[in-house]
Amino acid sequence: MEFNLKIWRQKDARSQGGFIDYNLKGVSGEMSFLEMIDYLNKTLIEGGEEPVAFEHDCREGICGSCSLYINGRPHGPEDLIATCELRMTRFKDGDTIVIEPWRAKSFPVLKDLIVDRYAFDKIMQAGGFISVNTGAAPEANSIPVSKEAADEAYDAAICIGCGACVAACKNSSAMLFVAAKVSQLSLLPQGKAETAKRARAMVEKMDELGFGSCTNTTACETECPKGISMAHIARLNREFLLAGLKS
């Protein structure tokens, strides 16, 4: 197969970027999207050019490294997958494919398709944990957790921290990401004690770091590779309200 690629190239955080066109022949349908870029990079390097920088590691949809905005959608045209799980069979021979980095004020571009997502870690540092010291934990089965609560907490806990929700949102809100963590920990009895404090601290940090506010557009839920539900945002809002009442 042959593709016309329009790829965002940017030397570093200080430089201006722009789209460059590449024509790539010889792509096989069995390639993943990232293998297609590996292939492009091989031809670029062999031709004396610099390869396209992009982030990836596990290549199986679990580490959250990969983060390409493809034809106007984070992680590309297919629902419920990360970029690394996208396959070239999804495209037609001769297609034009536009590839960009995440676009959000809080995720500055570092080079080509790589952005800095450390803001997510900062939000987690603000409160995305249960304050239990090593060795201070009670016997695991002394805290029964209903299967429903455990399963629901799990559904929130599988967020891979990729940032697609922010990239998809016209306000660049990180609400789905924050809500997933607050929700997970408040559903579990172990995490309940700190819920109010946690919700407040994380939301404040999110605002401080320049993420926008949530106006319920649902774009995040649509683009989230892990299907994290907006219901968690409703739960966060409840917890946040409670936090406000308590402070």
Q: Which chain residues interact with ligand FES by CB under 6 A?
A: 56-59, 61-66, 82-84, 160
Among 65, 106, 173, 183, binds other proteins (CB under 8 A): 65
Q: 184: closest CA among 157, 210, 207?
A: 157
Instruction: Give me the least distance between CB of 234 and ligand SF4, in Å please.
Output: 15
Applying CB under 8 A, which part among 1-9, 95-103, 142-150, 167-175 lies near other proteins?
142-150
How far apart CA 212 and CA 192 sit, in angstroms, is 27
Amino acid sitting at position 46: E
Q: Is 27 in the site for ligand SF4 (CB under 6 A)?
A: no
Dihedral in degrees, nearest 10, Cα atoms 135, 136, 140, 144? -170
103 burial class (0-12, 13-18, 19+ CB within 10 angstroms)?
Answer: middle
Among 27, 86, 165, 219, binds ligand SF4 (CB under 6 A): 165
Structure tokens belonging to residue 200? 């407040």
Q: 74: closest CA among 94, 96, 100?
A: 100
Find the binding residues for other proteins in span 165-194 (CB under 8 A). Answer: 184-185, 188, 190-191
Q: Is 204 in the site for other proteins (CB under 8 A)?
A: no
Structure tokens belonging to residue 43? 């031809």
Cβ contacts of residue 42 below 8 Å, gap of 6+?
A: none
Q: Which does 180 bind (CB under 5 to 8 A by kind): ligand FES, other proteins, ligand SF4, none?
A: ligand SF4
Instruction: Give me the least distance between CB of 61 and ligand FES, in Å please.
Output: 5
Q: Which does 82 bind (CB under 5 to 8 A by kind): ligand FES, other proteins, ligand SF4, none?
A: ligand FES
Q: Which stretches of the chain bind ligand SF4, using CB under 6 A?
A: 159-165, 176-177, 180, 224-226, 228
